[in-house]
Amino acid sequence: MKTTLSISPVERAADVLERILNTIKNDNGAKANLKRALTGEPRHRRAAYPLVLRYLSEKEEEYHLEPWLLVTCLLAYYPQDIDPGNKSTFGHSARRLKNDDSSRGPERRFRALLDTSVEDLRSPLTAMVRLMKSKGIPINYPQLLVDLCRWDHPDQYIQDKWARTFWNAPRSETDTEGLDDQLEN
């Protein structure tokens, strides 16, 4: 009897991002292609396809290509170690950015980000990651990827999770399964 092991979406994202990071770590041309793809220009995005598509399932490519491309490009721009055990969200990183900056800019940007549709996330998310890079604030890319794949959920539970983390509000009882653990770090 064949047994199929099930891994969580965060573990899957961590595995693929780690493989992509290992592929590009000594390839400056590949890193440059991914960084240029952050502009959103179609020709630059196409240059990133060979680096990303080979690792994606048919379903991931069909339904979640945009988040995969965006997060992979951000990882090339601001590389981080991939830790599948890390439970922090982008809300945690944004809160650290707010705490490290005396201006209201990070909070204003974060509020705008929460109200942005998935199609328009590239520019504001990239701007926040640039600020985080300048302050050395870590980002949990596997969790960011999973969250972006769920961004358009009608309940907007990802935006709520990020907002609660950012403003450090208590969790509600209606959180979906598994979200409570992710907010504890």
| C-alpha–C-alpha distance, residues 68 and 56, integer Å | 9
> Does 171 score more than 70 pLDDT?
no
Tokens found for residue 99: 């705490």
Kindly tell me if the per-residue pLDDT of 184 is higher than 50: no
When pLDDT is averaged across residues 80-103 and rounded to a whole number, the result is: 89
Q: How far apart are CA 47 and CA 24, in angstroms?
A: 13
Burial 88-109 (b: 16+ CB within 10 A, else e): bbbbbbbbbbbeeeeeeebbeb
pLDDT tens per residue, range 11-47: 999 999 999 999 999 999 999 999 999 999 999 999 9
Contact status, residue 176 vs residue 157, Cβ threshold 8 Å: yes
What is the overall mean pLDDT for the chain? 88
b/e sequence 159-182, b meaning 16+ C-beta within 10 Å: bbbbbbbbeeeeeeeebeeebeeb
What is the pTM (predicted TM-score) of this model?
0.85
Looking at per-residue pLDDT, the higher value among 175 and 5 belongs to: 5
Q: What is the pLDDT of residue 150?
A: 96
pLDDT digits (tens, 9 = 90+) for 117-149: 988 999 999 999 999 999 999 999 999 999 999
